[in-house]
Structure 1
Amino acid sequence: MGFEVTVSKELNLVYTKYSGFVKTRETEQAMFATVEHPDFLPGMSELTDLSEVEGTELVVESMDAHTSQLAVHYEMQAKLTTHYIYAPDDVGFGLAQAHREIAKGQIENLTVLIFRSEAEVLNAMGRNESSIAELLRAGFR
């Protein structure tokens, strides 16, 4: 699996894209890459793109442990964060649903919203762009 983390102060957004097989270690690395990014600010909206995820090797126990780490991260921010997840296919959607269910019970200041289409996620974010690629071109120069 690979991941890419990009932070835009202009958009007040963290964009993370996963590809291939999702493993716990890489999700942890992505989280650390986010908080260590020089442009990152607590409370930024997050957009995770799971459109290129082919599978997952995560098990409930490892997801639960990772969510506990995330809980500490979000509690330290002390700000409400909205996490938009674009998951057009069943593999990514299942992964996103599992993340949302675990987070719902452990992270009070995080709202997780899952979408199957780019248009839906961009609309929910209040964006006028027609695609995530267009959003990235506009805000990540």
Structure 2
Amino acid sequence: MPLSFRIIPERGLVVVEFAGYSGIDDFMRASAAYVAHPDYVAGQKQLVDMTRIAGFEKDYVRFMEIQAAKAERLAGAGVQSLCVYVAPTPIAKEIATLFTRTWADITNVVIMVQDTEAEALALLGQPEGSIDEMLRAAGVQT
């Protein structure tokens, strides 16, 4: 699956993973599944791993519509959320920049882009040096 997520409730964290080619419909399905998940909580920290993304659908209008709906949901929740992207490749950086730009005027979402998993995990207050290590420590199958 090009886009998946795992919620780690005890850490207040959701790990989102992109792999291969991701389309707008993949974003929509994953977003809907995330908010419908029983462990979803508004304001959860997000770690978005883009190390394995190979490409993405460049339908900017639909992308902006999805982001606007997410922004409205977060603004209505009245909580702040920290989202850190791991973007080590040019394609990953391109999509992370696109996400970052869509949140530029939203004060309750703090976005950071990092080159390495270790840097991203440190910003999120996680002691592990890699995502796999963190998932194992949290008892989540990798």
Percent identity of equivalent pairs = 24
Q: How does 1:71-86 map to 2 (within 5 A)?
A: 71-86=71-86
- Residues 85 and 120, structure 2, Cα contact 8 Å, conserved in 1: yes
Q: Deviations over 1:55-74 (max 9, x none)?
A: 11123222211111111221
1:114 maps to 113
1:98 maps to 98
RMSD after superposition: 1.3
With over 3 angstroms needed to count, the CA separation of the structure-2 counterparts of 1:96 and 1:113, relative to structure 1, is same
CA distance in 2, matches of 1:66, 1:134: 31
Structure 1 alignment gaps of length 5 or more: none
Structure 2 alignment gaps of length 5 or more: none
CA distance in 2, matches of 1:27, 1:76: 21
- Residues 5 and 33, structure 1, Cα contact 8 Å, conserved in 2: no
Structure-2-length-normalised TM-score: 0.91
Task: Tell me the amino acid that sits aligned with residue 117 of structure 2.
Answer: E
What secondary structure, in the 3-state scheme, does the structure 1 residue paired with 2:121 have? helix
Task: Tell me the amino acid that sits aligned with residue 139 of structure 1.
Answer: A
What secondary structure, in the 3-state scheme, does the structure 2 residue paired with 1:128 have? coil
With over 3 angstroms needed to count, the CA separation of the structure-2 counterparts of 1:16 and 1:140, relative to structure 1, is farther
Q: How does 1:4-19 map to 2 (within 5 A)?
A: 4-19=4-19
- Residues 88 and 115, structure 1, Cα contact 8 Å, conserved in 2: yes
CA distance in 1, matches of 2:24, 2:32: 13
With over 3 angstroms needed to count, the CA separation of the structure-2 counterparts of 1:53 and 1:118, relative to structure 1, is same
- Residues 19 and 50, structure 1, Cα contact 8 Å, conserved in 2: yes
CA distance in 2, matches of 1:14, 1:82: 11
CA distance in 1, matches of 2:139, 2:68: 30
What secondary structure, in the 3-state scheme, does the structure 2 residue paired with 1:98 have? helix
CA distance in 2, matches of 1:140, 1:104: 34
CA distance in 1, matches of 2:21, 2:41: 29
What secondary structure, in the 3-state scheme, does the structure 2 residue paired with 1:20 have? strand
1:138 matches 2:137: yes
